[in-house]
Amino acid sequence: MPPCPSAAATAPSLNSALGPGHDATERQHDGDCHDGDSDNSDSGGNSGGSDGSGGSGGAGVRGARGPRGSIAAPLFAAAMDASEAPAFSLDLPDPDSDSLSTIEFLARLEAAWAVCDRFDLQTEIWRGRILRSVRDREKRGGEGRGSGFLQWLQEREISKTRAYTLIQLAESADRMFSEGLIEPNSVNHFSKRAFLETAEAAPEVQQMIGEAASEGLPITRTQVRRLADEFMAATSPLLPDEIRQRTAENLLPPRAVAPLVKELARLPEPQQEDLRRALREEPELERVRDVTNTARWLSRAAEAGLAVRALQLEQLDLERAIQEAQRLDALGILSDAVVQAQQLEQAVLKLHGCWRRLGGLQERLWLESGSSTPHLRELLHALQTLCGATMRVSLGELAGGRRLRLQLVEESPDQLDPPPLA
């Protein structure tokens, strides 16, 4: 495979991705599509810049964040008592005021939301650092294999998943700060989702994003993704030269090429080479989309097929079956079928577990009840239709009141015969 071009020669322009072209429509789309990712802070990003002022709420914010807006602001000093921390306040517009136009009302709310978004990112980075300190302290001198850390989380009603997400955020921030990719003071220009997206990007992309943030440009998640896609499409060695060249010449959109790179990375080398050959023969947009779908179906069918227990037979060659389906142009149907089979097996395993637990509970209640609890006995009798060897479940009025009958029989492996093929 020919070496990929250097990043300096093929990387997308920083100005094209993060320069003046980040218009209000782009920022509004980013805020709408990512569940509260307040990237529409661009309307108040400059007003809520590194000094922490957020339009109408600047006075209250400057005291809370510190004069420079740094993460290491006095608010977060370890020696400061929490009761001494200045109050955080924002001057929100009056929703009943007739003197404010709708545009001005929404603009002031967006500015206030932008300040909250920046504070949210900074406090979550510090929460991650605090949790990491608790975890590391427990590892160093604690007992019970982390039970002290788990107890600390339980007392503060923090889930383990949430805790490690915050720790990962703190570690990503510290890594980018220590490597000089992003200046700590420029964190104010990131939304939380944009910062997380930057942490997962390539180091070259992080460097370009950091330079833009240092210049005071508000950074949105959409902009980070677009720049990462452009860089990936221009430099990935998984793509043939023809695709990289056409992408660099703006003949192929990076947003269409980037998913292709991600799907190719999940395939073994022989399948990658077959798909690259097809791209060399026809380096057009439709072919790129077709190859992307093919790569996705190949990876889905292979991954799901390995997880389906019904397909774990010695005489079954999954790879050959996938090749035959591809020859018949039915690879998408096979991929969907194997994924549905995997979901069905998982549902059956979950059904079996619930069925056994319900049966045990029903039996315990039956032993505790008697002639003095006729209503309880009637309830247990009704539950028998669900926990017995034969289950009867109503499909509801939409199905015409029909009932579904399932028979559950536990058998040993030597008694279980494969179902006959019709």
The per-residue pLDDT for range 193-204, each reduced to its tens digit, is 888 889 888 888
Residues 189-228: tens digit of each pLDDT? 888 888 888 988 888 888 899 888 888 888 888 889 999 9
Residues 303-359: tens digit of each pLDDT? 988 888 888 877 888 888 998 998 998 999 999 999 999 999 999 999 999 999 999
Q: Which of 38, 36, 120 is nearest to 71 (CA)?
A: 120
What is the residue type of 236?
A: S
Average pLDDT, rounded, for the chain: 77
Q: What pLDDT score was predicted for residue 214?
A: 87
Report the distance separating Cα 204 and Cα 199, nearest Å.
11
Q: For residue 414, is pLDDT > 90?
A: no
Other Cβ atoms closer than 10 A to 287: 15
Q: What pLDDT score was predicted for residue 45?
A: 39
Where do we find the tokens 């339980």?
154
% residues pLDDT > 90 (the chain): 22
pLDDT category of residue 288 using cuts at 50, 70 and 90: very high
Rounded alpha-carbon distances, angstroms, from residue 135 to 132, 153, 156, 160: 5, 10, 14, 11
Report the distance separating Cα 249 and Cα 234, nearest Å.
10
121 touches 190 (CB < 8 A): yes
Say which range, 299-303, 411-415, 416-420, has the weakest mean pLDDT. 416-420
Rounded alpha-carbon distances, angstroms, from residue 104 to 283, 311, 371: 49, 62, 72
Where do we find the tokens 């009025």?
397
Torsion from C-alpha of 34, 36, 39, 41, nearest 10 degrees: 170
Report the distance separating Cα 259 and Cα 291, nearest Å.
10
Say which range, 48-62, 340-354, 392-406, has the weakest mean pLDDT. 48-62
Q: What pLDDT score was predicted for residue 87?
A: 62
Buried/exposed 17-30: b ≥16 CB within 10 Å, e otherwise: bbeeebeeebbeeb
Say which range, 128-137, 228-237, 393-402, has the weakest mean pLDDT. 393-402
% residues pLDDT > 70 (the chain): 75
Report the DSSP beta bridge partners of residue 407: 390
pLDDT category of residue 188 using cuts at 50, 70 and 90: confident
Q: Which residue has the higher pLDDT, 370 or 17?
A: 370
Other Cβ atoms closer than 10 A to 172: 19
pTM: 0.60
Residues 132-152: tens digit of each pLDDT? 998 888 777 655 555 778 888
Q: What pLDDT score was predicted for residue 325?
A: 92
Q: What pLDDT score was predicted for residue 39?
A: 42
Q: For residue 361, is pLDDT > 50?
A: yes
Count of residues for the chain? 422
Mean pLDDT, to the nearest integer, of 112-140?
84
Q: What pLDDT score was predicted for residue 336?
A: 94
Q: For residue 80, is pLDDT > 60?
A: no
Q: What pLDDT score was predicted for residue 167?
A: 92
Q: Which of 178, 167, 300, 288 is nearest to 236 (CA)?
A: 288
CA atoms within 13 A on the CB side of 274: 12
Provide the token pair at 270: 């022989």
